[in-house]
Structure 1
């Protein structure tokens, strides 16, 4: 699990034909920290709850028209980060090159704080995960085995990537059949993890 702190996704669960990879996402955490610092909408490109702990606002003075443009640019950026499945702790993984100059200028004012918060989140999540590993490590495998038993067959080959972010509440968003985002609070709570991941895994089986 040490590699997770460095930014690599790690295989959390697997069977003979399937695997589930876990990633405490550094790039997504940086982006969400910046969203909240700039007081941008939490509903685009899809709803993601606010970051915890609460991020101090650092609202640039750019006017209402530019506010809309900034929110649009952030939404496009975040969607690109989710699609890229980037995970390493590197500025290159943030995919900021070529973005609108107004957006880059606004981001720069929050970037260092966002990177620091994301690094701390990865460290904290790793420690919490290790402490609670015995309670939760077998949950995905039990879900898949239960689905296999109900269906009377082995699961087809699949890989599920679960990207963990430090947002409020017990939340999961299924971005695609193979990629889901989940709050750290939900993932570290065995009951919530099972409740939220079971529909995702059963659909893949």
Structure 2
């Protein structure tokens, strides 16, 4: 997690291991849930695993969609979902038997993928993380200069997902969700932060 802050404001930027894990299961099982907004495939791309695809029936896909919506809408907190979505119990999926079978079959590989492809949390990314942490603070300073005053008191959250394309969404819980590709494009990321934060600064 990266934090930027001033006297009266704070921005937290983090990735979501559990969201990446759930998206890995979607991609590896070849599921095509009807999501609004549509979420692109992971990057790097995850090939379909035949053993998981065989478990991805309509019930598993519907249960996956329910799990994703809980994460997307902020009804499931990251720490809780991570703890309850682990072997051997997979307690979070007690009422989702088809999805539980799919998660049990793919959990080890999904866990490995997410630990090695985390946009912020993986090892060896300190230089990139340092660069990323400067962007939100720089956007606030620019807005303060344009407005001729200090920033208002606010808190803002940014989640980074390792998905394809330069894409972003404003989540229903008020956080900004961006793709890693967009976040790594300094100019585009700064422009986006300027536009989004102008309403709160």
TM-score (norm 1): 0.79
Match of 1:61 among 44, 54, 58: 54
Whole-angstrom CA distance in 2 between matches of 1:20 and 1:52: 25
Whole-angstrom CA distance in 1 between matches of 2:102 and 2:2: 36
Q: What SS does structure 2 have at the residue aligned with 1:108?
A: helix
CA spacing shift, 1:88–1:70, aligned 2, 3 Å: closer
Post-superposition shift, 1:125? 5.6
CA spacing shift, 1:89–1:115, aligned 2, 3 Å: farther
Match of 2:78 among 52, 73, 86: 86
Match of 1:158 among 154, 159, 163: 154
Q: What SS does structure 1 have at the residue aligned with 2:41?
A: coil
Match of 2:97 among 95, 101, 121: 101
**Superposed counterparts of 1:42-191, under 5 Å:** 44-58=35-49, 59-61=52-54, 66-67=57-58, 69-82=59-72, 83=74, 84-87=76-79, 90-92=82-84, 96-122=92-118, 126-127=122-123, 129-133=125-129, 135-176=131-172, 178-191=174-187
**Which segments of 5 or more consecutive residues in structure 1 lack a partner in the other structure?**
1-9
Post-superposition shift, 1:134? 5.6
Post-superposition shift, 1:126? 4.1
Deviations 1:25-55 (A, max 9, x none): 1101100100111212265142211101211
Contact 2:13–2:157 under 8 Å retained in 1: yes
Post-superposition shift, 1:99? 3.5
TM-score (norm 2): 0.80
Post-superposition shift, 1:151? 3.1
Match for residue 7 of structure 1?
A: none
**Matched pairs, number:** 193
Whole-angstrom CA distance in 1 between matches of 2:200 and 2:85: 29
**Which segments of 5 or more consecutive residues in structure 2 lack a partner in the other structure?**
none
Instruction: Return 27-36 or 70-79, whichever deviates more.
Output: 70-79
CA spacing shift, 1:175–1:32, aligned 2, 3 Å: same
RMSD: 2.8
